[in-house]
Amino acid sequence: MSDVGLGPAIDPPPRPGLRQRFLKLTASRGFQKWAARFPLTRGITRREGEAMFDLVAGFVHTQCLSALVGLGTLDDLIDGPLPLRRLASMAGAPEDRMRVLLDAGTALGLLIRKDDQYGLSRRGAALTGVPGLSEMIAHHAVLYRDLADPVAFFRGGTGPELARFWPYVFGAGAVQDPETAARYSNLMAETQALVADETLASVNFTGHSRLMDVGGGTGAFLIAALEATPGLRGTLFDLPGVVAPALEKFGNAKLSDRVNIHPGSFRDDQLPSGADVISLVRVLYDHADETVKALLGNAYEALPAGGRLIVSEPMAGQRQPTRAGDAYFAVYTMAMETGRTRSPGQIVQMLEQAGFVAVRHRPTHRPFITSVVEARKP
């Protein structure tokens, strides 16, 4: 029989492979009920089910964490356990509601309960001691509002509030508002300590004479680097409204005689010369590729031959996506509407395109906080 006039022949759909057939089987309710009872699979089924439920309930978990931080409950327990009635009174919350929150904190591993007494677990105590973490948890209220309609967010149909929080999103003029600049600077400074610890555990500046920290905020990383490297001098480069409080911070650290502050925008101004090592700490992932390429070229021109460049920031997982780089920071930077997380390989490639050599990725102990890539100018 001729197929003339019947239109183009349609190839049959490809037969699913073995793995795809197994996934379809796994999705069937009957198989799930059987696997939950069968001795060899019920352990796996339970673990997968619990992990799936954690994904579904994750938003509630984070809101409970936000409440414990916002009410000051974790800090209230740092000196020892307290009874429910006392904690409810301190939080200004009804006892029945406070019990639900405290039991949720216990289930999440942040608290320990004994009768009506609640105390911190090791995880809860550690959380209170992480520099800037409480501030970041409180700051997440902005991100939660931006994700209130996640479908519209990922379709690009929202105007994220987070983009207005970070002053450099709209250029140097936006940071002239003192309140905005202060919020930005305080959060950056509070959350910079862990990043500095991880970075300085992977690289050191011994043998260098001057470190220029570009986009360094109020100087938190530069202070840590100078304290760790006797004899090293520093230059802080950032927007005028951002670096204004840095002078006092350098004075408090007794480093004023080793630092100069150079206000400016790396988008519009050439970086000053004189440094033989430049650091870009949590800078690249805040900006689009075009801005990053221009910045790396700017840094290349500012360095002398043999000068060194250090990039430290959360990075994507490249072939294997990670929760920190590809789930959290990727979404956060998308809400900022200016940057994106990049893998170490992508950053290495951009550095090589800018002319740098001896580019290498230096893994850190806690890559969910930051990873490091370093390079040298030939």
Residue indicated by tokens 């198989």: 31
Is residue 176 pLDDT above 50, yes or no?
no
What 3-state DSSP class applies to 47?
helix
Q: How do residues 99-141 score in pLDDT, each as one tens digit?
A: 999 999 999 999 999 999 999 999 999 999 887 888 889 888 8
Residue 80: per-residue pLDDT? 95
3-state secondary structure of 112: strand
The DSSP secondary-structure symbol of 304 reads P
Q: Which of 331, 327, 363 is nearest to 344 (CA)?
A: 363
Q: How many CA atoms lie within 13 A of 190 on its CB side?
A: 17
CA 175/CA 72 separation, integer angstroms: 30
Residue 172, pLDDT score: 43
Q: What average pLDDT does the chain have?
A: 87
Determine the 3-state secondary structure of 262 from DSSP: strand
In sequence order, the β-bridge partners of residue 236 are 213, 261
Q: Is the pLDDT of residue 56 over 80?
A: yes
Question: 374 - beta bridge partners?
Answer: 310, 360
Contact 137, 122 (CB under 8 A): no
- For residue 22, CA distances in Å to 16, 27, 32 come to 10, 9, 12
pLDDT number for residue 31:
67
Q: DSSP assignment of 218-232, as one string?
A: TSHHHHHHHHHSTT-
Alpha carbons 84 and 81: distance in angstroms, whole number:
10
pLDDT at 349 over 80: yes
- By mean pLDDT, which of 83-92, 149-158, 164-173 is the weakest? 164-173
> Taking a C-beta distance cutoff of 8 angstroms, is the pair 270, 303 a contact?
no
Q: Shortest CA distance to 295 belongs to which of 212, 173, 226?
A: 212
Residues 277-296, mean pLDDT to the nearest whole number: 95
Q: Which residue has the tokens 């105590």?
A: 125
Tell me the one-letter amino acid at 38: F
CB count within 10 Å of CB 117 equals: 14
Q: How far apart are CA 16 and CA 13, in angstroms?
A: 9
Looking at per-residue pLDDT, the higher value among 254 and 130 belongs to: 254
Q: Is 195 exposed, middle or buried (0-12, 13-18, 19+ CB in 10 A)?
A: buried
Q: Is the pLDDT of residue 372 over 90?
A: yes
pLDDT number for residue 93: 97
